[in-house]
Structure 1
Amino acid sequence: MKCPQCNHENFPGEDSCSNCGSDLMDADLTKPKKGFGALILSDTIEKLEPPEPLIVKPDSTVKEAVELMIKHGHGSVLVVDSEELVGIFTERDLLKRVVRTRLDVNTNKISEVMTSEPQSLSGSDSIAYALNRMAVHSIRHIPIITDSKVSGFISVRGMLKYISEHTLER
Structure 2
Amino acid sequence: MVELESSQSMLCPACGHDNIPGSDACEDCGQNLAQTHGEGVEAEQADASIFQLPLSRLNPRKAECVSRRATISEAIAL
Give the TM-score normalised by structure 2: 0.43
The two structures have a TM-score, normalised by structure 1, of 0.24
Q: Which has the higher contact order (CA 8 A, sep 6+)?
A: 1
**Which has the greater radius of gyration?**
2
